Structure 1
């Protein structure tokens, strides 16, 4: 057996990566002076006096997120315009110089407290590109400035589940040439918030490659280490030569983890994907988009492709000028949450019996339906194919099957087939590639008693921690 394939099966997530993956679905909130200028990117010269969310209510944000089934919220504490939603001591371009609460307010503080009170996790976004700060372009001076602001956010707002960087450096060929000191940013986060995942331009969570909610058919969490390193290279000339850069992978690539890819690599890492998109066409609020909120069908498609395709789903909801989520957004979030809860509330496999073609001692097939994601089934090491049969004990109507690997042990399944038994004949229901943390298989409704999962390709030996069978009807 190829040693690289066996080694790939042994690559595992860190605790912080696993924590974010298990959150599954969480919110992005873009809010700044752009909300009042009707722009997506601010210039940095906006007057703080325009920022005045007179009805701001962080509790309303959190309740809307919870209604959708979200388990966390990431706030854009500073976007590219440089305006800070907290009273930073390092700049006058902040809420402290706005009319909101007579300059005595702190959006970051109120949102972090609302998250804790509401029982969801809080994370921060801090743009490295700053169009207001005069030191931007003087790399050492600006990096010190950025670390100072980062330290404020890491020390004053409680535990963070995530620090989200986008790596923007949009000055253009004749603009300021700022080289971000990523390693020093990471070191500060690890020191002050060791449990926080560093996302997108960071070592823990990667970008899926687009902002439209499109998902890969095969989303591998085990990918070349060069992909992780490449995510924070702003210009190839800064750190690598042309030949080396050409061998590197990009988040936009269609294939990041197949056997063909990983067998060419000397180092593999666990680097799971996050799918980020906005509930509206823009990332910031625009009144002209009040009737352009994504449909329930579109949000369900993205949810199934991301959460149900071994990725996380980060959905942006932009507050309006009042400081509230708009009524149309709130209504759609509630509809999405109701759909998800109704679809997956009753697991028909909870009392099923399960048999497998082979099981390792201590890892029986019954572990797949015991409701405990920490227990799992697996065959003997080196067994790459297996058959699992589920007996629901009576005929039942269903149109979803949810499969989960035990990703603490790695990601291993490459291809599988679901079938149902009609009399003495097994008929195909769904064909899929990777499973990973979670795979949601959706199909036309059927009514049968017996279901078979055939794992046709895997690495070293597969694992399954959970089989769920559901009806959305």
Structure 2
């Protein structure tokens, strides 16, 4: 570990005081170590979105099941009022920036009129067999300026060629090619390692290198999700909870392919690896209902807005991205309760940060160097450095402020480096710890009972390579 230097950066949302002299700013980027992994522009944009919506929809919606058998009649798919634009508007009202559709689930039924099989919307009565859910979905996303992504289940319980090796690979790649060439730009392609027939059933050894090459060739700006990446990893559970320690870096050898099952996999996915040589941030998926598909019996079991705020803090607030599933009903629309909860979640999340950063106007001191003189702009990537093993940034105001939420951010375009930190207030002649944690990454959120203080400080206790802090902010959300 190189503890020679910590680089502490601050943004307009973080510091109320200042920037270094121009000469120091010009020299600073050269001092940043380049050895540790950094995100691609696509990974960076993906994580800054923070919120995406999953849309689970297939014949299961009409058979009241979670997993289909593959022998369902296509005519079971019978929406009476399908409105993908309603999905997109509800997502936007909640603050979500993209949506991912189950273009094909394990039952093999395709939501677009594929040329690869008759087991699709083409064989349903919906829109007289001329409908295309995928088309309506992407058009709705673009009308609301939201990103669109697809999940194409590798496991297909309907297709006879499943388990045959290359013949099924060719079939699956043909479906993937249709989705990635006929519907415009895609922001995320979502895979899992589902191969659920068991040791006595058909099994397919998926050709992941070929699958990934296809995505790269057809949608070079899309990020690829799976347990093992290669761009974005699963967080290891479906509870909406990332690890309290959560590195965006991983060791690819620990989870080499989707569906890999060893005792350490959960820990590896939850925590990442500070010494990992690949940047693969975590995606935390969870459903707004007990199930992933709509069931009438669960209409009274939709998560509350307060619970969604908890999920936001335990996913986005732990350096992950939240992927929240909201399933359409048999009509083809989101249920009114789900829509209301999304909107309420959006309002409550805005209320958390209402009133702005209460450190605005503070005088700032820092370990190891002169304090900034004016507000810094994170977009300009200006920062100040402090030569110290233990680096700190102190804020002093003219009067006490009350706050109950702490927001910290690293400038992750330059990597993730902070391994331990604490946040303190000056009380009764000494520093008292209000929040302590390990990683920060894109965002760290800590909630606590209201505190009052006039002097506050962030301490970076330990880091790998120089650390850049992009945001230090406190709020009184109420």
The two structures have a TM-score, normalised by structure 2, of 0.88
Task: Indicate how the Cα distance of structure 1 residues 173 and 359 shifts in structure 2: closer, same or farther if over 3 A, else same.
Answer: farther
Conserved in 2, the CA contact under 8 Å of 1:378 and 1:461? no
Among residues 446, 451, 458, which one is paired with 2:451 in the alignment? Answer: 446
CA distance in 1, matches of 2:37, 2:308: 32
Separation of aligned partners in 2, 1:317 and 1:455: 39
**Secondary structure of 2:378 counterpart:** coil
Q: State how 1:241-280 maps to structure 2 within 5 Å.
A: 249-253=264-268, 256-257=271-272, 262=275, 268-280=277-289
Structure 1 unaligned blocks of 5 or more: 236-244
The Cα of 1:305 is off from its aligned counterpart by 1.0
The one-character-per-residue Cα deviations of 1:403-424 (angstroms, maximum 9, x if unpaired) are 1001111111111111112364
Q: CA deviation at 1:167?
A: 1.4
Query: Which residue does the alignment assign to 1:196?
Result: 222
SS in 2 for 1:149: helix
Q: Does 1:144 align with 2:170?
A: yes
1:62-141 → structure 2 map (5 Å cutoff): 62-141=88-167
Matched residue of 2:93: which SS? helix
- Other-structure match for 1:354: 364
Is 1:40 the counterpart of 2:66? The answer is yes
- Provide the alpha-carbon RMSD of the alignment: 2.4
Residue pair 2:405, 2:446 contacting (<8 A) in 1 also: yes
Corresponding residue of 2:7: none
Residue aligned with 2:351, SS: helix
1:378–1:464: 8 Å Cα contact kept in structure 2? no
Helix, strand or coil: the match of 1:10? coil
* Counterpart Cα distance in 1 of 2:94 and 2:84: 16
Deviation at 1:118, TM superposition (A): 0.5
Aligned-pair CA distance for 1:392:
4.1
**8 Å contact from structure 1 (residues 384, 458) kept in 2:** no
Change (3 A) 1:80 1:258: closer
Query: Unpaired runs of 5+ in structure 2?
Result: 4-31
CA distance in 1: counterparts of 2:198 and 2:273, whole angstroms: 35
8 Å contact kept, 1:344–1:470? yes
CA distance in 2 between partners of 1:38 and 1:350 (Å): 53
Shift of 1:378: 4.9
Aligned to 2:307: 298
Query: Secondary structure in 2 aligned to 1:462?
Result: coil
How far apart in 1 are the matches of 2:394 and 2:346? 31
- Is 1:391–1:450's contact at 8 Å kept on the other side of the alignment? yes
The answer for the alignment partner of 2:290 in structure 1 is 281
Equivalences for 1:196-345 in 2 at 5 Å?
196-201=222-227, 202-229=229-256, 231-232=257-258, 249-253=264-268, 256-257=271-272, 262=275, 268-345=277-354
Structure with the larger RCO, 1 or 2 (CA within 8 Å, 6+ apart): 2
Offset of residue 182 of structure 1: 0.7
Structure 2 CA distance for partners of 1:366 and 1:206, relative to 1, 3 Å: farther
> 2: distance between equivalents of 1:42 and 1:223?
34
Separation in 2, partners of 1:398, 1:189: 46
What is residue 390 of structure 2 aligned with on the other side?
Answer: 385
More displaced stretch, 337-346 vs 77-86: 337-346
The answer to whether the 8 Å contact 1:27/1:315 transfers is yes
- Tell me, in whole angstroms, the C-alpha distance in 1 between the residues paired with 2:380 and 2:109: 44
| 1:403 pairs with one of 400, 408, 416 | 408
Instruction: Give the deviation of 1:18 after TM superposition.
Output: 0.9
- Looking at structure 2, the residues matched to 432 and 9 of structure 1 have their Cα atoms a distance apart, in angstroms, of 25
Q: CA deviation at 1:43?
A: 0.6
Is residue 413–residue 457 contact of structure 1 (8 Å, CA) maintained in 2?
yes
**In 2, distance between residues paired with 1:443 and 1:330?**
29
The corresponding residue for 1:432 is: 437
* CA distance in 1: counterparts of 2:270 and 2:111, whole angstroms: 39
Cα–Cα, structure 1 residues 206 and 278, in superposed 2: closer, same or farther, change >3 Å? Answer: same
Distance 1:353 1:282 in 2: 50
Give the equivalent residue in structure 2 for 1:239. Answer: none
Query: How many angstroms apart in 1 are the aligned matches of 2:380 and 2:345?
Result: 28
- Measured after TM superposition, the shift of residue 317 of structure 1 is 0.2
5 Å-filtered alignment, 1:167-186, equals 167-186=193-212
Q: Does residue 1:461 correspond to 2:470, yes or no?
A: no
Please give the alpha-carbon distance, in whole angstroms, between the structure 2 residues aligned to 1:312 and 1:416.
21
The answer for the alignment partner of 1:238 in structure 2 is none
Q: How many residues end up aligned between the 2 structures?
A: 449
**DSSP 3-state at the match of 1:227:** coil
Q: What residue is the counterpart of 1:187 in the other structure?
A: 213
- Residue of structure 1 in register with 2:22 after alignment: none
- Is this contact kept in 2: 1:378–1:462, CA < 8 A? no
SS at match of 1:379: strand
1:342 CA displacement? 1.3
Which SS does the other structure have where 2:469 is aligned? coil
CA distance in 1, matches of 2:41, 2:255: 18
Contact 1:21–1:437 at 8 Å: present in 2 too? yes
